[in-house]
Amino acid sequence: MSSRLFSPQAVSDLGVNLFVAAGARRSDATATIKSLVTSSLMGLDSHGVIRIPEYLGLLAAGTIVADAVISVERTGPSTAIVDCGHGFGAVGAERAMQAAVMIAKEQRTACVITRRCNHLGRLGAWVQQAADEGMLALATCNSPVYGHFVLPWGGREPRLATNPIAYAAPTSGDPVVSDFSTSVAPEGKIRFYRNEGLPVPDGWILDSTGHPTNDPKAFYGPPQGGILPLGGSAGHKGFALGLLVEILGSALAGIGSQDTQVTGNGTCFIVIDPSAFCPLAVFRRLMNETVAYMKSSSPMPGVSEVLVPGELEFRTLRQRQQDGIPIDAATLQALQDYGQKLKVDVTSLGSD
């Protein structure tokens, strides 16, 4: 299946209209669509507009609560718990990071966890939010038992989610932003390959019998297969990182890893004010020097240049703002189907 390019503004307008027609508040719909469209603009399609039909399904099922109330409980000078009320995950995550940045400005450091937070999209968006405020931030994100697609090291039955870790640091230009799953790949990328009718790369997934496969359908089953932890032959390291994310998202929040009543993501945001240790201007200058030092390494054969985390995504963002966002045929059909169901004009989407 091939993808087509669409105007970011047209996709944004359609997404907001679909969510509002499905019962969402316009402010929540706008914030969520902004997060999804930005992910697609940055080339992170697995966490972009491909998720709009999924969220519409969750709204219809009541898993996403359209009129959710978010509350922030300060549990100490530098800690807080944000109850997202089962609303849109992006709205809850944005509020949680706002709380973390506010606390860090007061106390120099902050640790904020969430409860009842639905899928929050691109984890890197929220640490970038902190970096834009001149903060250094680290975030982790787990999923409940129904999202356990990742195999523990040496196992053939999934026990973890793809459990990403993200961090961001401000510079004088684009921040350094790293966002990676502790599995070889996030489940959304496998879904993207399935929608495109393409095989996944070697070393990503096993089928239900524990044998390697390139067929995304063999992963989804039934019976379900599993995604390998990050690291290849050193996958025990990826497994250990994934377990850390699980600890921060479940045990630290007082939630069991096998609790079938839990939905959404368990997140932990840690924010540090660099000015607690040196002036922010000095930190930015040192970050600029660090980035330049990384990029000064002579490229290996076949590589044009050394890139730091986030650099490629910001380049893609600027290019796709001009060229448009690719939407695969399966996602486009799902949007059209929801448009018909919700009486929203999808023909206004247009194509580049």
Task: Give 200's pLDDT tier (boundaries 50, 70, 90).
Answer: very high
Q: List, in order, residues 6 or more apart from 136 with CB less than 8 Å away.
A: 130, 167, 168, 169, 170, 271, 272, 273, 274
Task: Give 340's pLDDT tier (boundaries 50, 70, 90).
Answer: very high
Domain boundaries for CATH 3.30.1370.60 within the chain: 73-157+168-180+242-280
CATH number for 73-157+168-180+242-280 (one of 2.40.50.140, 3.30.1370.60, 3.40.50.150, 3.40.605.10): it is 3.30.1370.60
Determine the topology of domain 3-64+309-349 in CATH.
Hypothetical Oxidoreductase Yiak; Chain: A, domain 1 (1.10.1530)
pLDDT at 352 over 60: no
pLDDT at 349 over 90: no
Residue 333 confidence (pLDDT): 93
Residue 350 confidence (pLDDT): 60
Pairing mode, strands 325-328 and 266-272: unpaired
Domain boundaries for CATH 1.10.1530.10 within the chain: 3-64+309-349
pLDDT in tens, 109-124: 999 999 999 999 999 9
Mean pLDDT of the chain: 95
Per-residue buried b or exposed e for 234-270, using 16+ beta carbons within 10 Å of the residue's own CB: ebeebbebbbbbbbbbbeebebebeeeebbbbbbbbb
pLDDT at 189 over 90: no
The residue with greater pLDDT, 259 or 31, is: 31
pLDDT at 351 over 70: no
Pairing mode, strands 266-272 and 212-213: unpaired
